[in-house]
Amino acid sequence: MKRDYIHFIYLIQINNSIGYINNKYKNTNLKITNNSIIDNINKNTLKKIIINGVAKEDSILILDNSINKLIFNNENIKEIHINKLTIYGFLDFVKYQEVILENVVLYGRLNFNNYKESNKLIDISNFQYYDKLNIKTNNCIDLYGNVTINNSYFYGNPSCSDSLLSFKGENINNLQINNSYFDGAYSNNCVSISNSSKSHISSSLFEKGGSFENGGGAIRVMKSNFYIEDCKFNDNFSIYDGGIFYVLDSYSFIAQNIEAYNSTALEKGSLIYMYSSENIKTTGYIIN
């Protein structure tokens, strides 16, 4: 079978550490041989980057070694859209307005920098994530902004010491996850949520989550409003508190129609551990 190795539209050619984008680069290929920083862009000529493959099985982008990154570093670009592509490497969104990852398979790592603004949007759908860099880090994926995740799969790795996916809402942003799968590989807490204005998880499966640092084998919630429904949990554990849920100083916690099997905490709460400081009022419900 012939593979369309790299075939994109509205792209650029990048051969050195910095890629320059102009309108004349439309309908060409993207080749990355070193760290590539998409930042020196004329803000008057380009407002959107589209990296569009033919199909994720056939369109493949490989960074030439495990330490190189594709870095997006221009906040004047209003939208970055990556679609129908398999990527081997590190995607680093330093400055961004709206990011759409759709029908993408990523073998590597994914990072978004914090902004402390409420108008940053991240939309992830039909996405598969495998951490294959084997470079030591705290979290496999760091997310900020308003994040929506649909129909996606995430697989952990021992090279990440804490969470498979970490979301920091900075008290102004929301997280929504629907119909997705998380496998912590017995090495990572599946999802960590902190300072989220609102977080909602539905119709998702969490397996093999392992917390070795902060509690919560599957889900850790701190200083957030949290609602989860119609989810299933298998084989999650924590060496401290909360085999599945670890809830700390959060404002609301609602779990509805939850199935949980074989969850373990070596200290407290094989299903859930919830604690609030004196100055935090927490409302919690578990409903079936």
Nearest 5°: CA angle at 101, between 15 and 207?
Answer: 120
102-112: per-residue pLDDT in tens? 999 999 999 99
Residue 105 near residue 56 (C-beta atoms within 8 A): yes
Helix (H, G, I), strand (E, B) or coil at 165: strand
Residue 63 near residue 69 (C-beta atoms within 8 A): yes
Please state which of the ranges 44-58, 71-85, 178-192, 199-213 shows the lowest mean pLDDT: 44-58
Assigned domain for 13 exists: no
Tokens found for residue 89: 């490497």
Q: Which residue has the higher pLDDT, 29 or 139?
A: 139
Give the model's confidence band at 58: pLDDT under 50 very low, under 70 low, under 90 confident, else very high.
confident
Assigned domain for 11 exists: no
Q: Which residue has the higher pLDDT, 16 or 54?
A: 54
Q: Is the dihedral angle over the CA atoms 187, 194, 220, 204 positive or is it negative?
A: negative
The reported pTM is 0.86
Tokens found for residue 68: 């190189």
Assigned domain for 232 exists: yes
Assigned domain for 214 exists: yes
Residue 108 near residue 128 (C-beta atoms within 8 A): no
Nearest 5°: CA angle at 57, between 22 and 142?
Answer: 65
Assigned domain for 4 exists: no
Q: Which residue has the higher pLDDT, 17 or 65?
A: 65
Assigned domain for 12 exists: no
Residue 115 near residue 92 (C-beta atoms within 8 A): no
Count structural domains, the chain. 1
What are the beta bridge partners of residue 230? none
Cα 120 to Cα 98: distance, rounded to the nearest angstrom: 6
Assigned domain for 146 exists: yes
Tokens found for residue 67: 């330490």
Residue 206 near residue 236 (C-beta atoms within 8 A): yes
Assigned domain for 3 exists: no
Domain range for 90 is: 19-286
Give the model's confidence band at 65: pLDDT under 50 very low, under 70 low, under 90 confident, else very high.
low
Residue 168 class from Cβ within 10 Å (0-12 exposed, 13-18 middle, 19+ buried)?
A: buried
